Amino acid sequence: MFISSAKINWIMNSIIPLSAFSDNYIWLIVYGNSAVVVDPGDAAPVKKFLNDNNLNLSAILITHHHFDHTGGLVELANEANCPVFGPKGEHIKGITDALSEGDKFSVLNLDFSVMETPGHTLDHIVFYSENSDENILFSGDTLFSGGCGRLFEGTPMQMNESLQKISTLPDTTIIYCAHEYTQNNLSFALAANPTNITLKSESKIVSDLRSRNEITLPTTLFKEKKINPFLRLDDEEIVKNTELFHDMKLNSKHEIFAAIRSWKDSF
Ligand SMILES: [Zn+2]
């Protein structure tokens, strides 16, 4: 149901979202009759799509160890006999190519570089590909549209540094997030940043899309810098409202980030 609304670049690659569980997206990069899958939490929707479209699976990319991102990997890798790129550490069964910060690899016609982005989990990595016509990022559960991942393992400081690292990429970068959390994220963002005009109009667009059960992704770094409170630590209104919520003065970027994150957790 989401496929028709996906932003697809037919000239180079098609990047297609498959719905899984209640709100996950498994992204498929399709080129010719080959495909690469990112974070296959469930093998079934991937196998169906590959079968229905006569596609061969060339590789699997994994951003972090959570089951809703890895649950289908062993089954898919065994059937396709393909490489599995994911975080170093040997804690994820089935990874054949263990990756660290700055590692590079190629799949299909795309060259990817790896950024370590601890925070949501300690092993989290994201996949960035710079191309002549568009730059793409698979951000897993690190950066969402309007928000960021919960801090299950890392510290607020680690997550803030991870998001700062992502924000140094070109503003035109197209970001493929692993969950449909945008509407909830934007209602929080509006509470923190109620006079942000771009955020208000984006919130309306997202509500309309979700009322039709349509996808709100991908997003762009340019848009996120305008609407995502976790990338807007300099915004006076966000800082003021976060201080009011916690009834305390916030003295550094990391304190501001941590306070926005804990406010969002209780929202
Ligand atoms: Zn996760």
Mean pLDDT (the chain, rounded): 95
Dist. CA 120 → ligand 1 center (Å): 7
* Count of alpha carbons within 13 angstroms of residue 140, beta-carbon side: 36
pLDDT at 10 over 50: no
Dist. CA 67 → ligand 1 center (Å): 8
Dist. CA 236 → ligand 1 center (Å): 30
Report residues near ion ligand 1: CB below 5 Å. 66, 141
Dist. CA 197 → ligand 1 center (Å): 31
Q: What pLDDT sits at residue 6?
A: 44
Q: Which of 188, 189, 178, 121 is nearest to 155 (CA)?
A: 121
Dist. CA 64 → ligand 1 center (Å): 7
- Region for residue 81 given its phi and psi (left: phi exceeds 0; alpha: psi -120 to 50; beta: otherwise): left
pLDDT at 104 over 60: yes
Q: What is the mean pLDDT of residues 125-137?
A: 94
Least confident of 12-16, 52-56, 116-120, 181-185: 12-16
Dist. CA 25 → ligand 1 center (Å): 12
Predicted TM-score of the model (pTM): 0.95
CA distance 246 to 264: 12
Q: Identify whether 218 is preceded by a cis peptide bond (ω within 30 of 0).
A: yes
Dist. CA 94 → ligand 1 center (Å): 18
pLDDT band at residue 179 under the 50/70/90 scheme: very high
Dist. CA 104 → ligand 1 center (Å): 23
State whether the Cα torsion 214-215-220-226 is positive or negative: positive
Dist. CA 141 → ligand 1 center (Å): 5
Q: What pLDDT sits at residue 7?
A: 43
Q: What pLDDT sits at residue 13?
A: 66
Q: What pLDDT sits at residue 2?
A: 44
Q: Is 148 in contact with 261 (CB distance < 8 Å)?
A: yes
Dist. CA 264 → ligand 1 center (Å): 17
Cβ count within 10 A of residue 58: 18
Q: Is 46 in contact with 55 (CB distance < 8 Å)?
A: no
∠213-178-202 over CA atoms, to 5°?
A: 55
Per-residue pLDDT reduced to its tens digit, 58-83: 999 999 999 999 999 999 999 999 99
pLDDT at 12 over 80: no
Q: What pLDDT sits at residue 59?
A: 98
User: How far are the Cα atoms of 42, 74, 215 from residue 1, in angstroms, in the given order?
Assistant: 17, 26, 9
Q: Is 77 in contact with 94 (CB distance < 8 Å)?
A: yes
Cβ count within 10 A of residue 152: 13
What the block records as the tokens of 214 is 């349509």
Dist. CA 48 → ligand 1 center (Å): 24
